[in-house]
């Protein structure tokens, strides 16, 4: 029998953003379970390495230490940025909940409040993401301008500081992260998915616990948003089928179109007033210089229940197969190990 007086231990990375989003989940779990939740700070390899993500493989570098702590019983559950999770789910762990997604778009923070189109010729734009580099360079080409994408590492404050001190003309960051630490007002432009597709799963969080902790998993499922889970399942299925790691130049976004009423059986939110009949999945793979992109999309009908993961998995795999047939494999430059 569970001792309700014993606090639940939530494992989190130490960064300002990770602590902020874990704190929000901790409060939601307190309300859901009636139990105290304490944050357990864990340092991951991705936090200590100074190499760029593409150089260290990217896949799982922010996740492995948290998962090790779960398996060792040092923490009860963990919160990850879903885009950092490897697409293969370990049998020993369960993805108990994917809460409602924050804005998945990327955001530009530029000196002088400029938009991307207003940036000067040769503007230096900081990002640690090959995906962003590929699409920003491609978009600059459509505008007939030249930019320089500059690899950067560091937390949000550090990256924005590169613009404040004049080292860079702009940086591109996830809008969700800026929102969660209260700095979204500093964005000078939210980049439309028509311009830059986000990383698969961007803006979403993942709550993970040991598969053997059935009671806790059932409780955490109360935070699951079936609409978000459906969308990110399709996006991550595509990523897995491409055999690409989370630092590969792959963008994907699934949109659920409201039009009819569906219910989820998972115990998560039941947003009947915003139910859907179609899911639109679009994706891009490109070279980091933006010279070559493979961009495709597909639309599928939503089954009787949003919990039918097979539909979303199939949609992602089929779109990935089309992209591979058009040469996507030769553009990624990085494979998951």
Selecting among 76, 84, 106, 224, the annotated active-site residue is: 84
Q: Would the CATH topology of 106-191 be identical to that of 225-332?
A: no
Selecting among 67, 101, 105, 132, the annotated active-site residue is: 132
pLDDT for res 274: 53
pLDDT for res 45: 54
Q: Which of 3.30.160.40, 3.40.920.10, 3.40.190.10, 3.40.1050.10 is the CATH number of 225-332?
A: 3.30.160.40
Selecting among 67, 101, 105, 131, the annotated active-site residue is: 131
Q: Strand ranges (DSSP E) for 178-292?
A: 189-191, 205-210, 250-258, 276-286
**Residues paired with residue 286 on neighbouring β-strands, in sequence order:** 293
Which residue in the block uniquely carries the two structure tokens 């495709």?
A: 296
What are the boundaries of each domain within the chain?
A: 1-99+204-224, 106-191, 225-332
Could you confirm whether 209 is annotated as catalytic?
no
With a cut of 50, list the residues of the chain below it in pLDDT.
1, 47-49, 52-58, 259-273, 334-337
Could you confirm whether 16 is annotated as catalytic?
no
What is the H or E stretch that residue 163 is in? helix 156-164
pLDDT for res 263: 37
pLDDT for res 98: 97
Predicted structure pTM score: 0.87
Query: For residue range 59-72, what is the model confidence (pLDDT) as tens digits?
Result: 566 788 999 999 99
pLDDT for res 3: 60
Could you confirm whether 335 is annotated as catalytic?
no
pLDDT for res 331: 82
pLDDT for res 268: 43
pLDDT for res 307: 76
Selecting among 9, 35, 124, 153, the annotated active-site residue is: 153
pLDDT for res 124: 98
Query: For residue range 176-195, what is the model confidence (pLDDT) as tens digits?
Result: 999 999 999 999 999 999 99
pLDDT for res 49: 43
Could you confirm whether 106 is annotated as catalytic?
no
Residue 277, class by beta-carbon neighbours within 10 Å (0-12 exposed, 13-18 middle, 19+ buried)? middle
- The superfamily in CATH containing domain 1-99+204-224 is Periplasmic binding protein-like II (3.40.190.10)
pLDDT for res 240: 93
Could you confirm whether 9 is annotated as catalytic?
no
- β-strand 37-41 against 106-110: which pairing, if any? unpaired
Selecting among 76, 180, 224, 246, the annotated active-site residue is: 246
Selecting among 13, 159, 180, 282, the annotated active-site residue is: 159
Selecting among 13, 67, 76, 83, the annotated active-site residue is: 83
Q: What CA–CA distance (Å, rounded) separates 161 from 126? A: 11
DSSP-assigned letters across all residues of 192-221: PTTT-PPPTTTT-EEEEEETT-HHHHHHHG
Q: Which of 3.40.640.10, 1.10.10.10, 3.40.50.300, 3.40.190.10 is the CATH number of 106-191?
A: 3.40.190.10
């Amino acid at each position: 029998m569970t001792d309700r007086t014993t606090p639940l231990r939530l494992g989190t990375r130490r960064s300002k953003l990770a602590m902020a989003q874990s704190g929000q989940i901790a409060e939601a779990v307190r309300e859901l379970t009636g139990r105290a939740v304490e944050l357990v700070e864990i340092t991951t390899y991705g936090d200590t390495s100074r190499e760029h993500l593409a150089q260290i493989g990217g896949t799982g570098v922010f996740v492995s230490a948290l998962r090790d702590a779960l398996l060792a019983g040092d923490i009860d559950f963990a919160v990850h940025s879903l885009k950092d999770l490897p697409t293969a789910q370990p049998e020993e762990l369960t993805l108990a909940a994917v809460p409602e997604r924050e804005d998945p778009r990327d955001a530009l923070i530029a000196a002088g409040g400029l938009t991307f189109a207003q940036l000067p010729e040769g503007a230096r734009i900081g990002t640690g993401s090959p995906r962003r580099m590929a699409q920003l360079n491609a978009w600059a080409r459509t505008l007939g301008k030249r930019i320089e994408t500059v690899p950067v590492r560091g937390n949000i404050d550090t990256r924005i500081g590169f613009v404040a001190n004049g080292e860079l003309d702009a940086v591109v960051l996830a809008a969700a992260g800026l929102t969660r630490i209260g700095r979204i007002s500093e964005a000078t432009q939210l980049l439309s998915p028509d311009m830059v597709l986000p990383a698969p799963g961007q803006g979403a969080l993942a709550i993970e616990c040991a598969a053997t902790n059935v009671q806790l998993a059932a409780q955490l499922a109360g935070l699951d948003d079936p609409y978000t889970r459906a969308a990110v399942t399709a996006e991550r299925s595509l990523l897995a089928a491409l055999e690409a790691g989370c630092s590969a130049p792959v963008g994907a976004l699934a949109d659920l179109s409201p039009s009819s009423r569906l219910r989820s059986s998972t115990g998560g939110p039941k947003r009947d007033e915003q139910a859907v009949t179609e899911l639109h999945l679009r994706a891009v793979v490109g070279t980091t210089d933006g010279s070559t992109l493979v961009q495709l999309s597909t639309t599928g009908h939503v089954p009787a229940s949003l919990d039918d993961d097979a539909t979303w998995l199939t949609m992602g795999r089929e779109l990935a197969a089309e992209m591979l047939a058009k040469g996507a494999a030769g553009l990624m430059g990085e494979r998951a190990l």
